[in-house]
Structure 1
Amino acid sequence: MTTQSALLMLSTETPLHAGAGQSVAGIDLPIQREVHTQWPCVYGSAVKGALRARAFHDKMDNGDLIELFGPEHAAAAGERDNSHAGALLVGDARLLLLPVRSLQSCFKWVTCPAILRRFWRDAERLGMPLPPLQLPAIDPTGALAASKGNLFLEEFRLEAEPNALIEQLASQLDALCQSTPAADDLKERLVIVHDDIFSFLARNATAINAHIAIDAASKTVKDTALWYEETLPPESLLYVPLTATASRRKGSQRQPGEMLNLFSGLLQQRPWLQLGGNETTGMGWCRAIVKQGQ
């Protein structure tokens, strides 16, 4: 089957809470994570729902919306002859760079070899011109950065070693993200650490916020109205694999490239997407850039 692919790059501009729907280790509302790595992510169903909501609120033609995302479940169940899958295949939003507090600057963008290798594999699968860079072995007490010296990330003190890989990776990401974040900022803040160090930071360097509900009459806290909520911090960088097929709607002759362009046009004029919960308190806003493959 002929397809057309793209990467959707998401840079969080406000805290992002894509909830897992369960309580874990004292956190009432944790974020979604990959089960095998425990790295933060946003499941593809949540990303697709946010994209569909964006198309709906931007008043996309209903026929175009149905071709891209498929008919509503209730409509599909009631009209079996007209039911079909959407032409846009949406993957999980995978973490690429995690912002972490540092004594050297306000924060560092941290990643690890395992994440980078997976990113390059995904890019290859999607037909993106991103040649994998040569990753040297990284000691658990070391890191690759723009400059040499002690590097403090949360409670870790690491020995940073300058490496040309940092500038090369910054250039790759700058091209994909269209300077959001900019290459100069990436070169200054980008850090590659050992996989185990990154896993610890991914589990423990996210924000945990306490929330309460106030009784309107007494202006005191309601009974049992205290909960803790986890969020992915602003400045996080994620990517979403996208693939478009030909339209599956009966009678339509639209090809994969046309369907992907229809989706890309949704974000060209206003490249922001609200993702996850707590929209009414300004959470979940991401800058969204679509980079099409070959």
Structure 2
Amino acid sequence: MKAKLMFVHALSPLHAGTGQGVGVIDLPIAREKATDIPFLPGSTLKGVLRDACEDPEVRKRVFGPDTSGADEHAGAVIFTDARLLLLPVRSLKGVFAWVASPLLLHRLMRDVGNAAGLPQIPDIGENACRVSEEGCAIKTSEDQVILEDLALAVEGSADVKAWAAWLGKHLFPSDETWQKELNARLCLVTDDTLSFLLETATEITARIQLEDKTKTVKSGALWYEESLPAETILAGLVMATTIKNKEGKVTEPEEVFAMVKKLSENTILQFGGNATVGRGLCRAILVGEEASHENHRTGISQAGV
């Protein structure tokens, strides 16, 4: 089995929900139980790309047969959940910051499986953050960044600049403007600070339903739903394996990756709910070459970069 990294870049608020909530928010987003980190389910990624594939034969070989023929053979592609990597957070200076934490970057390094080729993660003090040592646009002064209502002591870091360069070349491979924007806005905070922002920096929208004739709110038709803000960046893995169907036709990983890339590049995909009101419009970016080495503990090839 081979794997590649896939980024998802939200161009509009993204609501990957879990159904009715039990708290103040009626329709919350999907979050990991232990960490509370938001994610986009792998089933959502697979379903959207499957629908985008117009060739029935290719769709069946790559994504697997429909439920009625599920016993014929498995699909050749696996999508993991796309977990939060960069959270856009309101900034007093520079409009917004792309916020990450050591935990999010360590998870990415583990998924990529090529930690030696990735930048180091700098140490961050309590109530502090790290930004790029050059070109930062979110500092209110030489020693402070204000995110939401948090005033954080700031230091420039060559490692953050290196992370911005690495992420920028994969997220915006042919767009130097957005590569510079990422460098200007990338902000590394502590895991505790991120945990606070995960509760306060998501988008909460009040929705209503109107009476047809009076155009007043129907009784009980007020609810609150949560979304990840526009500009959120998520990351997951796309894995492929060799599959042979009943007719003996073999589907190789190279064909799978080529099809996923064809379906996702240079187009806008819609993930999650509220499609008719413009939510969930995203870019999906498949990164890298084929994996070149094996993870002997899991038997899964590492993601190529």
Give the alignment's TM-score, normalised by structure 1. Answer: 0.90
Between the aligned partners of 2:127 and 2:289, the Cα distance in structure 1 is 37
Q: What RMSD over aligned residues (CA atoms) do the two structures have, in Å?
A: 1.7
Gap runs ≥5 in structure 1: none
Correspondence 1:66-145 to 2 at 5 A: 66-76=60-70, 80=71, 83-124=72-113, 131-145=117-131
Q: Is the 8 A contact 1:5 1:292 kept in 2?
A: no
Between the aligned partners of 1:129 and 1:53, the Cα distance in structure 2 is 35
Correspondence 1:18-37 to 2 at 5 A: 18-37=16-35
Match for residue 15 of structure 1 among 6, 13, 16: 13
Does residue 256 of the first structure (1) align with residue 253 of the second (2)? yes
Q: Is the 8 A contact 1:39 1:203 kept in 2?
A: no
Seen in structure 2, the aligned counterparts of structure 1 residues 122 and 293 have a Cα distance that, compared at 3 Å, is: farther
Identity %: 40
Between the aligned partners of 2:116 and 2:289, the Cα distance in structure 1 is 10
The corresponding residue for 2:295 is none
The corresponding residue for 2:207 is 211
> Partner amino acid for 1:292?
G
> Partner amino acid for 1:207?
E
The corresponding residue for 1:155 is 149
Name the SS of the counterpart of 2:57 in structure 1. Answer: helix
Q: Is the 8 A contact 1:68 1:87 kept in 2?
A: yes
* Residues 15-50 of structure 1, C-alpha deviations (whole Å, 9 max, x = no match): 100011131421000001111110111111122112
Match for residue 182 of structure 1 among 161, 170, 178: 178
Seen in structure 2, the aligned counterparts of structure 1 residues 271 and 8 have a Cα distance that, compared at 3 Å, is: farther
* Residues 58-103 of structure 1, C-alpha deviations (whole Å, 9 max, x = no match): x2x1111011111111333xxx4xx221101100011110000010
Between the aligned partners of 1:184 and 1:133, the Cα distance in structure 2 is 18
Name the SS of the counterpart of 1:182 in structure 2. Answer: helix
- Structure 1 stretches (4+) deviating beyond 6 angstroms? none
Name the SS of the counterpart of 1:46 in structure 2. Answer: helix
Between the aligned partners of 1:238 and 1:24, the Cα distance in structure 2 is 26
The corresponding residue for 1:226 is 222
Name the SS of the counterpart of 2:209 in structure 1. Answer: strand
Name the SS of the counterpart of 1:216 in structure 2. Answer: coil
Give the alignment's TM-score, normalised by structure 2. Answer: 0.87
> Partner amino acid for 2:267?
P
> How far is 1:236 from its partner?
0.6
**What number of residue pairs does the alignment pair up?**
279
The corresponding residue for 2:273 is 277
Name the SS of the counterpart of 2:230 in structure 1. Answer: coil
Between the aligned partners of 2:277 and 2:76, the Cα distance in structure 1 is 33
> Partner amino acid for 1:162?
G
> Partner amino acid for 1:249?
N
> Partner amino acid for 1:26?
V
Q: Is the 8 A contact 1:40 1:95 kept in 2?
A: yes
> How far is 1:209 from its partner?
0.5
Between the aligned partners of 1:8 and 1:136, the Cα distance in structure 2 is 25
> How far is 1:254 from its partner?
2.4
> How far is 1:203 from its partner?
1.8
Q: Is the 8 A contact 1:130 1:172 kept in 2?
A: no
Between the aligned partners of 2:255 and 2:52, the Cα distance in structure 1 is 19
* Residues 173-230 of structure 1, C-alpha deviations (whole Å, 9 max, x = no match): 0121125682211111110000000011012210111000001112111111010000
Between the aligned partners of 2:228 and 2:3, the Cα distance in structure 1 is 27
Between the aligned partners of 1:154 and 1:220, the Cα distance in structure 2 is 34
> Partner amino acid for 2:166?
Q
> How far is 1:234 from its partner?
0.5
Between the aligned partners of 2:45 and 2:35, the Cα distance in structure 1 is 20
The corresponding residue for 2:297 is none
Name the SS of the counterpart of 2:124 in structure 1. Answer: coil
* Residues 249-278 of structure 1, C-alpha deviations (whole Å, 9 max, x = no match): 22112211122112212223x332110011
The corresponding residue for 2:194 is 198
* Residues 150-172 of structure 1, C-alpha deviations (whole Å, 9 max, x = no match): 11011110000001012100111
